[in-house]
Structure 1
């Protein structure tokens, strides 16, 4: 996959510490840059009440998902052992938020990243 001059190489079954990993599809390594919240989260109630500032949504990528523990869509991350309260991250954050943020950062900010090269 290529965005501009940035080439994203797919994960292979023998990449680094991922020996024997199921690398089917086009998987990229996830860059956990910090344990901090990567996106603003608001409740559905607040959205339905229309009480969000317009600059929170205008020209923004809006993702809808659940972070409720009852959804059983929580995962351990490299930061899990450092967290005092929330040891797991919601799937919507891992699967949806982090990859686009990472891709944009690698392409626009030219951040180094495993499995990424440059053309030209």
Structure 2
């Protein structure tokens, strides 16, 4: 169950990063409120995951899900550049997340 909490936390991390961008420097109230809600939910789920997943693993996976997910989201929805190296390093992040899952003691 802890890994499910961690995946949900990573998805909420992606959501709060998107809301942060769309808040336009906290000038758009709806996205600002959504940022606060999704950030709070992300941290809540992260703390639930850390009950049984080591903090280093949980934090690395949480940030990895957020970083790789937001990078892909930016490519598909914000028109960010797509290069071989960018995709290569996103794939390395995903591989590292999967690797941490397999070597985690929980």
Is TM (by shorter chain) over 0.5?
no
Higher RCO (CA 8 Å, separation ≥ 6 residues): 1
TM-score, normalised to structure 2's length? 0.32
Greater radius of gyration (CA)? 1
TM-score, normalised to structure 1's length? 0.29
